[in-house]
Structures are given as C-alpha cells and as structure tokens.
C-alpha cells in the first residue's frame, strides 16, 4: 500500500463564499472564517468576562482578567507606564495571534498564522506603526537612533548601515518566526498523523508521538503569541524611550 501523505494540504486556502469585484478575488475563505471566529471568541471572552464584575471571578472573567493583566504587566515591564497608551493595540494583537494559534490546533480547523502573508501583514503594521510613533514623538531626533553613541566618525560609515539594516530586518524576523513555527508544527502533526492512519496496528506508535507533539504545539502556540507580543513591546520601547 502506498503511503499517501499530504501534510501541506491543510494550508490550502479554500473559498467558502466566492466573491469577486472586477478582477480582485475577495472570497470569504476558510482562513477568513477562522479569523472571524478568533475575533469573535476573543471579544466574547473580554465582553462576557467584564459584564458582571465579581469580586471572586468566574471562569470566563478570570480568563479575561488573566489576559488583561498579562499584557498590562508586559507593557509596564518593557515600555513603562508611558506605553499603556498602546495597550489596546498590543492586547488585540496578542489575543488575535493566540486564538489563531489555538484554533489551528483543533482538527479540521485552519491555522491562519501559518500563512506568511498574514504574519507579515501584522509585522508590517507593527514596524510601520512603531516607526511612525518614534518619528511623531521625537521628530528628526529619531534618526539619532541609528547612530551609535561614542563611536569615532570613521567607524560610523560602517556602523550606521549595519544599524539601519538590523532595524529593517525586524519585520522579517518577527513574521517568519511565527509563520515558520506554525508551519513546521502542523506539518509534523500531519505527517505523523498520516503514518498512523496508513500502517495499521503499528500506527499506534506515531499516534502516541502525535499526542506528545500536540502538547508541544499547545506550548508553542502560547509561546509564539507571547514572543510576537513582547517583541512588539520592545520595539515600542525603542521608539518611545529613545535614550
């Protein structure tokens, strides 16, 4: 029996409601569906969690409070209280990525954070936004960001391009990190799942492995959302506290 493995099939975007405006395809896809669910779920948790403010929180309320305090403390620790102004953005970003990662782990679901264009769009928004915040708060002084302190002028010729480059690289590392982790994890799950399905009784072994990998993926899902968010905070810190 030939092994039929299509581990990457899970990332195919399928239109659910085909929509076209002229030549532009704006179909409502499985990816869009999962994004909608992620946004709705995150909204529900926060809205229901804050509807009745009990002194002893219930399940939903403590979920909401946990997430809120987690991001609030993260901003305080990395940016300082000044950064709380950007709390809504950071919180939204975190919840969206977290729910995207988590929903992707449900069988027959779809992992939109495993699409480079999705993660890159988010990283690009962070990059452009943070740069604009830096320019808005510091004006031309922001450019001093790329000039290392106390370095001879001769070396600056070399160092300024390096600084500039390492700044430009940020959105790429930010997006590829999340995308690659999701892609690799889910591909691995699918490959072992494929083995388990096709080799009969021996398949218990890859199945067991799949269970373990699944737990690992749960960890990665949360951790990658955390990493994306904390890096956003650190970039924000750079832009706000220039010195």
Task: List residues binding another protein (CB under 8 A).
Answer: 76-77, 80-82, 84, 137-138, 144-150, 161-163, 165-169, 172-173, 176-177, 180-181, 223-224, 226-227, 230-231, 234-235, 237-238, 241-243
* Pair of tokens at residue 116: 């480079």
Query: Residue 67 CB: number of other CB atoms within 10 A?
Result: 18
Which residues are CB-contacts of 28 (< 8 A; sequence separation ≥ 6)? 15, 16, 17, 19
φ, ψ dihedrals at 16, nearest 5°: -100, -50
> Least distance to another protein from the beta carbon of 127, Å?
12
> Least distance to another protein from the beta carbon of 163, Å?
5
> Least distance to another protein from the beta carbon of 80, Å?
5
Between 217 and 238, CB nearer to another protein: 238
> Least distance to another protein from the beta carbon of 130, Å?
11
> Least distance to another protein from the beta carbon of 186, Å?
16
Between 58 and 148, CB nearer to another protein: 148
CA distances from 101 to 14, 108, 138 (A): 19, 14, 36
Which residues are CB-contacts of 147 (< 8 A; sequence separation ≥ 6)? 156, 160, 163
Nearest to 188 by CA among 109, 105, 128: 105
The DSSP H or E segment spanning 25 is strand 24-25
Between 196 and 233, CB nearer to another protein: 233
Tokens 């085909």, located at residue: 18
> Least distance to another protein from the beta carbon of 29, Å?
28
Between 43 and 241, CB nearer to another protein: 241
Between 110 and 235, CB nearer to another protein: 235
Whole-number Å distance between alpha carbons of 144 and 161: 13
Between 95 and 231, CB nearer to another protein: 231
């Amino acid at each position: 029996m030939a092994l039929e493995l299509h581990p990457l099939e899970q990332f195919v975007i399928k239109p659910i409601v085909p929509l076209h405006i002229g030549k532009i395809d704006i179909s409502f896809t499985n990816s869009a569906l999962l994004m909608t669910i992620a946004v709705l779920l995150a909204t529900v948790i926060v809205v229901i969690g804050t509807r009745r403010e009990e002194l002893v929180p219930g399940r939903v309320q403590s979920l909401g409070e946990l997430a809120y305090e987690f991001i609030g403390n993260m901003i305080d620790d990395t940016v300082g209280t000044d950064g709380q102004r950007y709390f809504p953005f950071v919180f939204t970003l975190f919840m969206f990525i977290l729910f995207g990662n988590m929903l992707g782990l449900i069988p027959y679901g779809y992992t939109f954070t495993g699409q480079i264009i999705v993660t890159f769009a988010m990283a690009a928004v962070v990059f452009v936004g943070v740069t604009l915040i830096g320019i808005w708060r510091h004006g031309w002084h922001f450019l001093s960001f790329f000039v290392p302190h106390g370095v001879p002028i001769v070396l600056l010729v070399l160092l300024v391009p390096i600084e500039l480059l390492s700044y430009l690289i940020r959105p790429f590392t930010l997006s590829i990190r999340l995308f690659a982790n999701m892609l690799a994890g889910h591909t691995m799950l699918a490959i072992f799942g494929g083995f388990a399905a096709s080799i009969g009784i021996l398949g218990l072994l890859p199945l067991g492995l799949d269970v373990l990998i699944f737990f690992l993926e749960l960890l990665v899902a949360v951790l990658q959302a955390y990493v994306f968010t904390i890096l956003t905070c650190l970039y924000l810190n750079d832009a706000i506290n220039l010195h």
